[in-house]
Amino acid sequence: MKNSLSTISHIENIPLTINQIGSKAQAGFPSPAEDHAVGRIDLNEILIKHPVATFFLTVKGYSMENAGISDGDYLIVDRALPAKHNDIVIAEIDGDVTVKRLYKRNGILKLKAENLTYPDIVPVPGQEWAIWGVVTFIIKPAK
């Protein structure tokens, strides 16, 4: 199995502030009265609930495209959250790191790809498995 992730980084508690617009963005016709910044927000407050247990990484590969995760996207991963059925998780299998959807029902455990051209990963006896954390946010480039 090839690594489907690269660039794992721990998130430091560094203020990440940007200007905040006074309202939500219109998906229809914009309002000219609401086009100026009214304050600053700290992205840590929005994106990170457990700073010590949170890291981010870059996705490499296409196995999660139908979940909206593409090659080059950034994932924010929280190790403090318990992984539950249907969560998107970061897992290590025999030393390879991957992002997949956790399937955990009726005694069946597997990691499911969100692209039909990739097989599910089912643990076999003697294989080393570990769930590193739960994906909480996907950050995508707009260009």
- Nearby residues of 124 by Cβ (< 8 Å), 6 or more positions away: none
Q: One of 9, 31, 49, 100 is an active-site residue; which one?
A: 100
5-10+50-139 has which CATH code?
A: 2.10.109.10
Mean pLDDT of the chain: 82
| Helix (H/G/I), strand (E/B), else coil: 46 | helix
Q: Quote the CA–CA distance of 132 and 33 in Å, as a whole number.
A: 45
Q: One of 2, 63, 70, 112 is an active-site residue; which one?
A: 63
Annotated active-site residue 2? The verdict is no
Domain extents for the chain?
5-10+50-139, 17-46
Question: Which two three-digit tokens encode residue 93?
Answer: 């299998």
Mean pLDDT of 4-21: 50
Annotated active-site residue 9? The verdict is no
DSSP summary character for residue 16: -
- Nearby residues of 21 by Cβ (< 8 Å), 6 or more positions away: 34, 35, 36, 37, 38
pLDDT at 73: 95
| Helix (H/G/I), strand (E/B), else coil: 25 | coil
Residue with tokens 């309002």: 31
Q: What's the residue count for the chain?
A: 143
pLDDT at 20: 46
- Nearby residues of 11 by Cβ (< 8 Å), 6 or more positions away: 44, 48, 51, 54, 55, 56, 76
The pLDDT tens digits for 46-83 are 888 998 899 889 999 999 999 999 999 999 999 999 99
